[in-house]
Amino acid sequence: MNLAYIPSPSHGVLYLGPIPLRGYAFCIIIGVFVAVWLGNKRWIARGGQSGTVADIAVWAVPFGLVGGRLYHVITDYELYFSEGRDWVDAFKVWEGGLGIWGAIALGALGAWIGARRRGVPMPAYADAVAPGIAFAQAIGRWGNWFNQELYGRETHLPWALHITSAEGGRVPGYYHPTFLYESLWCVGVGLLVIWADRRFKLGHGRAFALYVAAYCVGRGWIEYMRVDDAHHILGLRLNDWTALLVFLLAVVYMVVSAKKRPGREAVVEPGVSGGPAETAEAGTDADAVADADDTGAEGDAGAGADAGGEEKATPAEKS
Start-to-end C-alpha separation, the chain:
116
User: What is the full DSSP assignment across the chain?
Assistant: --SS-BPPPS-SEEEETTEEEEHHHHHHHHHHHHHHHHHHHHHHHTT--TTHHHHHHHHHHHHHHHHHHHHHHHHTTHHHHSTT--GGGGG-GGGS---HHHHHHHHHHHHHHHHHHHT--HHHHHHHHHHHHHHHHHHHTHHHHHTT-S-BSB--STT-EEE---GGG---EEE--HHHHHHHHHHHHHHHHHHHHHHH---TTHHHHHHHHHHHHHHHHHHHHB-S---EETTEEHHHHHHHHHHHHHHHHHHHHHHHS-S--S-SSTT----HHHHHHHHHHHHHHHHHHHHHHHHHHHHHHHHHHHHHHHHHHH-
118 is annotated as contributing to ligand binding: no
Q: What is the DSSP string of 136-200?
A: HHHHHTHHHHHTT-S-BSB--STT-EEE---GGG---EEE--HHHHHHHHHHHHHHHHHHHHHHH
Pick out the residues of the known binding site. Answer: 141
